[in-house]
Amino acid sequence: DGGITQSPKYLFRKEGQNVTLSCEQNLNHDAMYWYRQDPGQGLRLIYYSQIVNDFQKGDIAEGYSVSREKKESFPLTVTSAQKNPTAFYLCASSPRTGNTEAFFGQGTRLTVV
Amino acid sequence: DAKTTQPPSMDCAEGRAANLPCNHSTISGNEYVYWYRQIHSQGPQYIIHGLKNNETNEMASLIITEDRKSSTLILPHATLRDTAVYYCVLHAGNNRKLIWGLGTSLAVNP
């Protein structure tokens, strides 16, 4: 089935460690996005990529890094520089052009202790 | 960037229509209105979108006012499974950034 897959669903890390969240899609979408969601809040954009080997910072990129070496993959690294990394992270993809909806993964809940 | 304003919570009786409002008074002429919903601890699910005409699909109807400053999502026969947070989102131009508000938490009651 076509879709977007995030793994793992739950992730625990010690403070000061970098951690990488996986996002894979087989929808042949050019654009991919990473959002962060805190309790009771809407989604905030971390990074987005409209094409392979290119990505742009979103509204809250500090303390995060991404890569886009393959069309189907857009991993997010939460670095030790991120002051409040505990959150729900959502990955999405969409066609680069045209007005169509974004497809979301099921999210990764990261807890840093 | 344009913002959206939604009531924080609403209730609806099962089987009745749920009408969820959204204000977007600073919307730009090329911005679409999208609606998504999010069931607890899952990824958002697309519902419907429109530019200025009313739209209907198998899930819902979208009514956009003539001045495009507000819209209403209508779930015609709400079920318990429609209990979720509903987000009214503006599509901000070619870069595909989606501007998310705080959403409306809809509780469908038996």
pLDDT, tens digit (0-9, with 9 covering 90-100), for B60-105 = 999 999 999 999 999 999 999 999 999 999 886 554 567 788 899 9
Residue A29's pLDDT is what? 92
Q: How far is B77 from chain A (nearest CA, A)?
A: 23
Show Cβ contacts of residue A1 under 8 Å, excluding neighbours closer than 6 positions. Answer: none
* Interface mutation vs chain A, best among B36, B96, B97, B100, most A CBs within 10 Å: B96
B40 CB neighbour count, 10 Å cutoff: 8
Residue A98: pLDDT over 90 = no
Does any CB of chain A come closer than 8 Å to the CB of residue B35? no
- Give the nearest partner residue to A107 out of B43, B46, B103, using CB atoms: B43
The token pair at A73 is 């993959």
Residue B40's pLDDT is what? 86
B100 CB neighbour count, 10 Å cutoff: 22
Average pLDDT over residues B29-52: 92
Residue B92's pLDDT is what? 67
Q: How far is A7 from chain B (nearest CA, A)?
A: 13
Of the candidates A89, A96, A94, A101, which has an alpha carbon nearest to the alpha carbon of residue A11?
A89
